[in-house]
A and B are shown apart, each in its own frame.
Chain A
Amino acid sequence: MVGWFAELGLADRPQVGGKGGSLGELARAGIAVPPGFVVKTAAFERFLEAAENEAPVRALIESVDPDSLADVTALSRQLRARVEAAPLPQDLAGAIERAYGKLNESHQAAVAVRSSATTEDAADASFAGLQDTYLWVQSLEQTLDKVRSCWGSLYSVESITYRRRHQFAERDVAMAVVVQTMVDARTAGVMFTRSPLTGDRSVMAIEGSWGLGSAVVGGEVTPDRWVIGKITGEISVREISDKQIRHVPLNEGGIQSVAVDESQRQIPCMSDVELEALRIVGRKVERHYGRPQDIEWAVDRHSGAILLLQSRPETVWSSREAAPVGRPAEDPSLHVLKIFGGFTR
């Protein structure tokens, strides 16, 4: 019911969801990710089975009218309350407790608890953003709570509506949960292993800002931006912005937004050496998957290590690949007519 990242890969997605499979795949490929484990869908099935024994869950969803917001809202409220209040089966709680203990032997206590739905991040039906993530969770008790909250997020208004609109069979829908050491990020951000502007596969675009990556992903800060030659490492664009806020962990769990110190606001949040290291990692990930990636990364405040939090296939440009730029010619000299022949360049 629980699997460590190093034991998992993309092929395990039906059991560990998109996020869990991706983190496992990265870890296996030798990419540094914050260590953690996945509470597999089997655990969710086991939990839901117990719940269904008390009162129906899936049948209620399949019969709700997705166009009636009132009905969906009422159902969502009811199911989430049930999921969050239901006790975990003993064997399941034990398994999570053991894994959590092991994670804490070598690492600090704070973890991120992330939903990882089985169909999430799949190209055909993106659930991305519809499930909850809980950052900076401080204790085993909280962790167990947040695992149930993640399961519960499967019954959010948006999630239910989305599934009904797309007519997914409820029995095919399951939720895995990633429990992962939190990175106390000095700097964090995103990286596209192709240009978001032109689709150029020979450059990478990196955006980053001080603190946790949630400030960048959530659009709460204008990040620094670089464009780097994927192969040459040449930095062709450097836009250092005025980074006014950063996200930091709260002692009691969760995160908060604080003002960036005046002296730090307009200096680059990444050194050239770090950008180069990030380029190498990005290239490795892209090569591993054989296609451009959309990556979330962070620099550990204490160790300075660059860690990947997530990597997904880039979808915008990949879905509209252009016509081939050229074809071999019978006589290679014919190519020069592009220049000499009076065609518009």
Chain B
Amino acid sequence: MTHNVACASGVELLMDYLEGVLPADLKADVDEHVTACERCTAFIASYRETPRIVREATEFELPKELGDSLMAFLRAKRGPPRG
């Protein structure tokens, strides 16, 4: 079976394509389109970079004092040791 993959329909398949869950025939059609389409090649590059850019921009470190106060809070809530 052949599918008529345009940029728009290819984009809708992109996550499945990159995760390797597309049926083989559909994957081959997407491959064929992407190989010949510089716009899709550029779109996919930026689509793949987006999670990393967002991840690195939203790194939050647990402040040490918050870790300490969490443990103190949990100990207080739990009360004296069981058993």
Task: Please indicate whether A and B come from the same complex rather than being unrelated chains.
Answer: no
Which residues of A are interface residues toward B (Cβ below 8 A)? none
Interface residues of B, Cβ cutoff 8 Å to A: none
